[in-house]
């Protein structure tokens, strides 16, 4: 990204910065703005991993704090002691299947946690005399818009909210709070609603890493239902670039949809991953990998199709995705092949017990 020589440095709090998208964003920000102060707040739940930030350990401008976004005292102290002017809020419980098994943690982190951050930021922003250049970026999802039929137009920023899972309902609740803080207090919040991300550091429970890892282990590839559900895939680096532009040039109070313009049926995506693995992995236990594809019981309330209309962010802020699905999937498969040391320890007893609960149905 081209550096703006007149840019004012920011002091940014990145919540959930040890998770999948958050850690990619921390890498992006530290590389793009090496003089900025970056504070990462992450509870290191099962989905958080400090190793995602290992290569930044010696960066003197980066501080990592292990803690909960629901801890108001901790958040107040961080905002004040570091004089933070920007929040990029990623921290969340993010997996739909876990929200079906246990919604409580989703309401706590996604709703109460976001509320706690908004309140803390409001107090700090008032003390800082309400600069409009401060920014509270709330990173959200396209799932709040519900499910599309095959011929429906893609979600726009004005599509009514119709969340269908405890996960998306909790994200919808947090979006409404972020929006209300602009409307009521004038606080400079911005919301982004993004489609399915993929790329490095993606936790093994999600579709793409799960399939990559199971192919490498010669385990069945569990495709829910008829495999015809559609997702709109976006390479995570493109998402990070979009969020960067929104923080710098987005309009307070606005919502921006972010999407890859890459709608793919689940079964086709899994077949593409199988072909890539056949080509790139010399030591597969089962070959061709597609022999492992197994249709399993559908996810409860499974949304059929998501598709994002990202014309607003293109028109107003000049962002478009740069990576193709073919290129991004190849990079992702190569990453999982080269980083077995990263994902093998994540297949812990907790993960195995979760896997058993979801896939033994
Ligand atoms: P993730 O599950 O990989 O990471 C979440 C991170 O938040 C983890 O590091 C975890 O330790 C941390 N965390 C959880 N609860 C916390 C708490 N109470 N306090 C502090 N930290 C806590 O999630 P992700 O896939 O990187 O998603 C990041 C954000 O982007 C989420 O808000 C999600 O809703 C949104 N989003 C994700 C996608 C996607 O495809 N993954 C797409 C659109 C939007
Ligand atoms: O759309 C954005 C959302 O994308 C984010 O808000 C969520 O945080 C993120 O987890 C993701 O949600 P999905 O439910 O779409 O992603 P997941 O990887 O869990 O599943 C993708 C599709 O693949 C979905 O239709 C369900 C299906 N699936 C998933 C798994 C884990 C399978 O068929 N088999 C599986 O084993």
Note down pLDDT in tens along the chain; length 361 residues. 445 678 999 999 999 999 999 999 999 999 999 999 999 999 999 999 999 999 999 999 999 999 999 999 999 999 999 999 999 999 999 999 999 999 999 999 999 999 999 999 999 999 999 999 999 999 999 999 999 999 999 999 999 999 999 999 999 999 999 999 999 999 999 999 999 999 999 999 999 999 999 999 999 999 999 999 999 999 999 999 999 999 999 999 999 999 999 999 999 999 999 999 999 999 999 999 999 999 999 999 999 999 999 999 999 999 999 999 999 999 999 999 999 999 999 999 999 999 999 998 7
Domain carrying residue 240: 11-202+234-261+304-322
Q: Do residues 209 and 336 make contact, with C-beta atoms less than 8 angstroms apart?
A: yes
CATH (domain of 110): 3.40.50.720
Separation of 93 CA from ligand 1 center, angstroms?
A: 6
d(CA 289, CA 275): 7
Work out how many domains the chain is built from and give that number: 1
Instruction: Report the nearest atom of ligand 1 relative to the CA of 206.
Output: 41
Task: Give the residue among 243, 265, 277 at the shortest CA–CA distance from 138.
Answer: 243
CA of 19 to the centre of ligand 1 (A): 6
Distance 206 CA to ligand 2 centre (A): 6
Please say whether the beta carbons of 319 and 242 come within 8 A. Answer: yes
Catalytic residue among 33, 167, 256, 336: 167
d(CA 142, CA 163): 9
Q: Does residue 292 lie within any of the structural domains?
A: no
Closest ligand to the CA of 191: 1
Concerning whether 341 is annotated as a catalytic residue, the answer is: no
CA 359 to CA 347: how far, in whole Å?
15
Of all ligands present, the nearest one to the C-alpha of 71 is 1
* Residue 36 domain-assigned (yes or no): yes
- Return the ligand 1 atom nearest residue 167 CA: 34
180's tokens: 């209300």
CA distance 157 to 181: 18
Q: Report yes or no on 272 lying in a domain.
A: no
Q: Are 31 and 247 in contact (CB under 8 A)?
A: no
Residue 276 resides in a domain: no
Q: Which helix (H) or strand (E) holds 12?
A: strand 11-15
Q: Is residue 6, in this structure, part of any structural domain at all?
A: no
Residue 330 belongs to a domain: no
Atom of ligand 1 nearest to the CA of 94: 2
The active-site residue, picked from 143, 175, 238, 254, is 143
Q: Are 180 and 255 in contact (CB under 8 A)?
A: no
Question: How far is the C-alpha of 110 from the C-alpha of 92, rounded, in Å?
Answer: 5
- Whether 266 is in a domain gets the answer no
Ligand 1 center to residue 199 CA distance, Å? 14
d(CA 353, CA 52): 23
Report yes or no on 289 lying in a domain: no
Phi and psi at 182, nearest 5°, equal -75, -50
């Amino acid at each position: 990204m081209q550096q703006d020589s007149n840019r004012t440095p920011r002091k940014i709090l990145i919540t959930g910065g040890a998770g999948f998208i958050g850690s990619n964003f921390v890498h992006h920000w530290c590389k793009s703005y090496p003089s900025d102060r970056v504070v990462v707040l992450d509870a290191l739940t099962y989905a958080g991993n400090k190793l995602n930030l290992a290569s930044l350990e010696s960066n003197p401008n980066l501080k990592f704090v292990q803690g909960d976004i629901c801890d108001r005292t901790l958040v107040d102290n961080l905002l004040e002691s570091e004089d933070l002017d920007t929040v990029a809020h990623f921290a969340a419980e993010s997996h739909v299947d876990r929200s079906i098994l246990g919604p409580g943690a989703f309401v706590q982190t996604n709703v109460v946690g976001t509320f706690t951050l908004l309140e803390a930021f409001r107090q700090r922003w008032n003390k800082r005399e309400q600069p409009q250049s401060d920014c509270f970026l709330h990173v959200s999802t396209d799932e709040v818009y519900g499910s599309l039929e095959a011929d429906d137009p893609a979600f726009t920023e004005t599509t009514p909210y119709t969340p269908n899972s405890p996960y998306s309902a909790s994200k919808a609740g947090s979006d409404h709070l972020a929006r209300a803080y602009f409307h009521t207090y004038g606080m400079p919040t911005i919301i982004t609603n993004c489609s399915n991300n993929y790329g490095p550091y993606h936790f093994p429970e999600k579709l793409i890493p799960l399939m990559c890892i199971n192919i490498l282990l010669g385990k069945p590839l569990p495709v829910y239902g008829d495999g015809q559900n559609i997702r709109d895939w976006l390479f995570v680096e493109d998402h990070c670039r979009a969020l960067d532009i929104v923080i710098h040039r987005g309009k307070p109070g606005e919502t921006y949809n972010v999407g890859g313009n890459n709608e793919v049926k689940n079964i086709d995506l899994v077949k593409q991953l199988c072909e890539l693995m056949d080509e790139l992995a010399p030591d597969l236990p089962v070959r061709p990998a597609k022999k492992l594809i197994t249709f399993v019981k559908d996810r409860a309330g499974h949304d059929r199709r998501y598709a994002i209309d990202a014309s607003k962010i293109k028109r107003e802020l000049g962002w478009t995705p740069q990576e193709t699905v073919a290129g991004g999937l190849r990079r992702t498969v190569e990453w999982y092949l080269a980083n077995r040391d990263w994902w093998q320890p994540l297949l812990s007893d907790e993960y195995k017990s979760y896997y058993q609960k979801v896939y033994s149905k």
